[in-house]
Amino acid sequence: MQVKVLGAERRRRWSYDEKVRLIEETLRAGETVCGVARRHGLAQSLLFTWRRQARQGRLGSEAVAALVPVEITSTPTPVPACAPQPPSSPPTQRTKAGIIEIELGGCRVRVDRDVDAEALQRVLELLRRR
């Protein structure tokens, strides 16, 4: 059996970096998926698929992942019930701090409310692959 190539492939290959750039463009204030798709000549459904895959950590990376500073701490050992408990911080301070703890694959990541969403997403994707 012989296979002949009759012409150039019509399907465009999007690199991981291009997908991420286009997804980020759709997330800008005042931007729509329809507008981004129209400007770059691709189907809206493709952008929606990439956004869903990115949220699920399944976008796929052909590029080398960037490293960002992360503090990973081990789970503290439980304190016996009879031991004195340190005084807790006032509720206003706790609300102000906005600390989020994420446990994934035996690791704990702590971030505050000012965390860079893109950096956090890259860290979580790296932890999911471990």
Q: Report if residue 116 sits inside a domain.
A: yes
One domain for residues 71 and 41: no
Domain of 41 in residue numbering reads as 12-59
Q: Provide the Cα torsion 124, 128, 129, 130; round to 10°.
A: 100
Residue 110 shares a structural domain with residue 71: yes
Whether the per-residue pLDDT at 40 is higher than 60: the answer is: yes
35 and 71: one domain? no
* Domain annotation covers residue 89: no
Question: Does the pLDDT value for residue 44 go beyond 60?
Answer: yes
Q: pLDDT tens across 92-119, in order?
A: 554 555 788 887 767 788 888 788 888 8
Considering the chain, what percentage of its residues have pLDDT values greater than 70?
68
- Give the total number of structural domains in the chain: 2
Question: Per the domain annotation, does 19 fall within a domain?
Answer: yes
Once rounded to an integer, what is the mean pLDDT over residues 69-91?
59
Residue 97 parent element (H or E): helix 91-97
Q: Is the pTM of this model over 0.85?
A: no
Per-residue pLDDT, 83: 46
Residues 46 and 71 in one domain: no
